[in-house]
Amino acid sequence: MTRASTSTRVFVYGTLLSGEPNHRLLRGARLIGPGRTRPRFTLHDYGPFPALASGGKHSIKGEVYEVDALMLAALDRLEGHPRFYERTPIALDGAGCVEAYLLPKERLADRPIIESGCWRRHRKERKQW
């Protein structure tokens, strides 16, 4: 990523995490480090991926990356922004404001809540069922 390009910090919490299937889209992005939301969100199990919604009481665990405009456009395509997920600025606990992909609450009716706020932990626990 060139420094001359416009960069955006993005919080990822599911299939874009390092080691997860969609992480390849972040190849070349700068890892800022681990991140955690303030306890104002809910993470839902949407089957093969999680969905983040505002207005909860959980702190969600993830990673923060700095991406350029082309990479952000690729992430928007993957997430179906703005028709499916909505890219929204959120405040992280102690790390400032970043962009995150949130799903509108009306799409989350009857979807199980991931109480731990951690997609990786949830997937491990789910495999043990």
The catalytic residue positions are: 79
Q: Dig out the tokens for 83 from the structure.
A: 């028709």
Phi and psi at residue 23, to the nearest 5°: -60, -25
Strand partners, 89: 99
Q: How far apart are CA 92 and CA 84, in angstroms?
A: 22
Say if CB 102 and CB 52 are below 8 A apart.
yes
Which residue in the block uniquely carries the two structure tokens 């922004």?
Answer: 81
